[in-house]
């Protein structure tokens, strides 16, 4: 579904933020991106959707090279990709349902957007998307009245409404309490395994990556230093990403780990 080949990026006046990064993502995988602060995780996710222009390399998504394609092709490709951010990026005064419908706004004539007039089938699809993230009950509540975990689940429902096949999640649980964080990651994982979505998700809690992901990409100083199935992650692999890495953390996470599909 996504091939990233020899991707590089240097911001003006900075050292290289991404250096010759290559990997492939298959459909239906939950892939965690780990790395210390400043390792290049956000830069990688932003380059994939071309929120920033990479300096070199290829990003092949469903047959289109996003690094060099035309604006029109980029728009077509972006229709199948959604981004989820730490701060949810919802319109606070709008309801959960209206935020969810925003996933399809590009398909609606401008006058309908202005008047907030959505086709009936959209309203049904929006309620279904909210149902898939267990939020049908709060569909008509304002986004800013929802908890952080609920808001992040609305952002996921918006991605479902958009019919995204690839979700790029940049620290999606960094501002959530532990229980809400687990619920959001559980949900993303189940969307991958049950519905064939692909999720590339940066995380700073290794324990969560070990518990929920199928595969781990590790970045250090802009280089991809680890690409392994999560079940093969051992403390020595953590060392490659972070320097010294506590063995205890891997052991604890293994004990908490939920069932994973056997194939990588």
Binding to ligand ADP (CB under 6 A) within 43-72 occurs at 43
> How near is the Cβ of 41 to ligand ADP at its closest, in Å?
4
Is residue 218 at the binding interface for ligand ADP, with CB under 6 A as the rule? no
Between 100 and 225, name the residue whose CB sits nearer to ligand ADP: 225
**The dihedral of CA 70, 76, 81, 82: what is its sign?**
positive
Between 35 and 238, name the residue whose CB sits nearer to ligand ADP: 35
User: What is the separation of C-alpha 56 from the centre of its chain, rounded to a whole number of angstroms?
Assistant: 23
- For 58, the 3-state DSSP assignment is strand
Is residue 38 at the binding interface for ligand ADP, with CB under 6 A as the rule? yes
Is residue 243 at the binding interface for ligand ADP, with CB under 6 A as the rule? no
Is residue 42 at the binding interface for ligand ADP, with CB under 6 A as the rule? yes
**Spatial separation of the C-alpha atoms in residues 101 and 137, rounded to whole Å:** 16
- For 165, the 3-state DSSP assignment is coil
Between 11 and 264, name the residue whose CB sits nearer to ligand ADP: 11
| Residues in CB range of 113: below 8 A, 6 or more apart | 105
> How near is the Cβ of 50 to ligand ADP at its closest, in Å?
14
- 211: tokens are 């518990």
Is residue 103 at the binding interface for ligand ADP, with CB under 6 A as the rule? no
Is residue 35 at the binding interface for ligand ADP, with CB under 6 A as the rule? yes
Residue 36 and residue 241 in contact, taking contact as beta carbons nearer than 8 Å: yes
In which order are the strands placed within the sheet that holds 81-85?
A: 81-85, 166-170, 198-202, 30-34, 215-220, 223-229
DSSP letter (8 states) at residue 51: S
Which residue of 17, 95, 150, 253 would you call a contact of ligand ADP, by CB under 6 A? 17
β 198-202/30-34 pair status = parallel
Helices 120-132 + 148-161 axis angle, to 10: 130
Is residue 215 at the binding interface for ligand ADP, with CB under 6 A as the rule? no
Is residue 14 at the binding interface for ligand ADP, with CB under 6 A as the rule? yes
Interface with ligand ADP by CB under 6 A: which range of 35-43, 108-116, 129-137, 176-184? 35-43
Q: How many residues bind ligand ADP (CB under 6 A)?
A: 11
Binding to ligand ADP (CB under 6 A) within 140-199 occurs at none
Is residue 120 at the binding interface for ligand ADP, with CB under 6 A as the rule? no
Question: Which residues in this chain contact ligand ADP in the complex, by CB under 6 A?
Answer: 11, 14, 17, 35, 37-43
């Amino acid at each position: 579904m996504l091939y990233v080949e020899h991707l590089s990026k240097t911001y003006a006046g900075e050292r290289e933020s991404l250096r010759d990064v290559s990997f492939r993502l298959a459909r239906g995988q939950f892939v965690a991106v780990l790395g210390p602060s400043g390792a290049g995780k956000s830069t990688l996710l932003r380059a994939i959707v071309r929120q920033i222009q990479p300096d070199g390399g290829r990003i092949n998504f469903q047959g289109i090279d996003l690094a060099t394609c035309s604006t029109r092709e980029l728009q077509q490709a972006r229709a199948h990709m959604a981004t989820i951010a730490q701060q949810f990026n919802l319109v606070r005064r709008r309801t959960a349902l209206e935020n969810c419908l925003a996933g399809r706004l590009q398909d609606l004539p401008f006058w309908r957007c202005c008047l907030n007039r959505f086709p009936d089938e959209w309203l049904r699809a929006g309620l279904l998307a909210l149902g898939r993230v267990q939020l049908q009950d709060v569909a008509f509540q304002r986004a800013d009245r929802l908890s952080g975990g609920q808001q992040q689940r609305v952002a996921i429902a918006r991605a479902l409404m958009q019919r995204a096949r690839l979700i790029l999640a940049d620290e999606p649980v960094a501002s959530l309490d532990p229980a809400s964080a687990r619920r959001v990651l559980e949900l993303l994982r189940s969307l991958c395994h049950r519905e064939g979505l692909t999720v590339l998700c940066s995380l700073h809690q290794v324990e969560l990556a070990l518990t929920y992901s199928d595969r781990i990409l590790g970045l250090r100083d802009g280089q991809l230093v680890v690409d392994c199935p999560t079940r093969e992650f051992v403390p020595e692999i953590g060392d490659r990403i972070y320097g010294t890495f506590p063995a205890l953390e891997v052991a604890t996470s293994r004990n908490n780990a939920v069932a994973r599909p056997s194939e990588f």
